[in-house]
Structure 1
Amino acid sequence: MKRVHVAVAVILSKSNQVLIAKRHAHLHQGGKWEFPGGKVENTENTEAAIIRELKEEVDLQVTSSMPFMTISHDYSDKQVLLDIHTVTNFTGEAKGNEGQQIKWVTITELAAIDFPEANKAIVAKLQQQYL
């Protein structure tokens, strides 16, 4: 099984809220919430993928991102390598460009949200660092 390299953005607002998006039902882990991002193309590094994906998915113009952590996770049907960056330098008003539901939540609220298994370590590290 090929491991999918995914760029994931933890987008933090000035008030330390985090942007999350709900996965469409037909997608892998559909119906769960996630941190925005997507596959890293062969010609891109992680930061370039984050800049492209956030423009496409949530209409934000990202100036820069900082590496946060990486997670390698095996689902029964898919293997993922999540390359997670924090994003604090961006402009624009977030909206679900692909018809997905999005919302800003506090870091405390993340614990009660239904995320794919691979995302739970991100939530734990955010809570460690910011709470």
Structure 2
Amino acid sequence: MATKTVHVAVGVIKQDDKVFLTKRLADSHQGGKWEFPGGKVEQDETVHQALARELKEEVAIEILTCMPLMQINHDYGDKKVRLEVFIVEHFSGEAKALEGQQSAWVKLAALSQLTFPTANQAIITKLAELYC
């Protein structure tokens, strides 16, 4: 049976030289690793709608503007993902984890010291090229 691809909207929430990260819960896919907040795009919504909904639900912010950064297709073996990644620098609210997970504002230069799901490595590389 073919593995279904999970379509995910991802927000790189950025302020100055830091980005907001959340840590995946231990019992989830890729559990215990840091990630950029976001979530699945539902059937009846656009990527922008999904990103706005997920960031509101997960980290309590409202996107004012966002800018496309990149698309990533990755096969974990047990799951395939297609990430559509956006830079979110203009938002209202105070970013905080709402789903019981750990969260932190991390300096862009320190991202390479944290453990992320493999699909996120390209995001970290791209951010280093743009901002470091």
1:116 aligns with 2:117: yes
Residue 32 of structure 2 is matched in structure 1 by: 31
Unaligned runs of 5+ in 2: none
Q: In the aligned structure 1, how far is the partner of 2:68 from the partner of 2:60? A: 21
Query: Contact 1:47–1:64 (CA<8 Å) still a contact in 2?
Result: no
CA RMSD of aligned residues (A): 0.7
Give TM-score scaled by structure 2 length.
0.96
Q: In the aligned structure 2, how far is the partner of 1:71 from the partner of 1:93? A: 28
> After TM superposition, which residue ranges in structure 1, 4 or more long, deviate above 2 angstroms?
none
Provide, for residues 8-60 of structure 1, a one-character-per-residue CA deviation record: whole Å limited to 9, x for no partner.
Answer: 000111x2310000000111000000000000011111111111000000101
Structure 1 residue identity aligned to 2:72? I
Q: In the aligned structure 1, how far is the partner of 2:20 from the partner of 2:92? A: 13
SS at match of 2:84: strand
Residue 43 of structure 2 is matched in structure 1 by: 42
Q: In the aligned structure 2, how far is the partner of 1:11 from the partner of 1:96? A: 13
Unaligned runs of 5+ in 1: none
Counting aligned pairs with the same residue, the percent is 52
Structure 2 residue identity aligned to 1:82? L
Q: Offset of 1:90 from its aligned partner?
A: 0.3
Residue 65 of structure 1 is matched in structure 2 by: 66
Give TM-score scaled by structure 1 length.
0.97
Aligned residues: 130
Q: Which of 7, 24, 44 is 2:9 aligned to?
A: 7
Residue 126 of structure 2 is matched in structure 1 by: 125
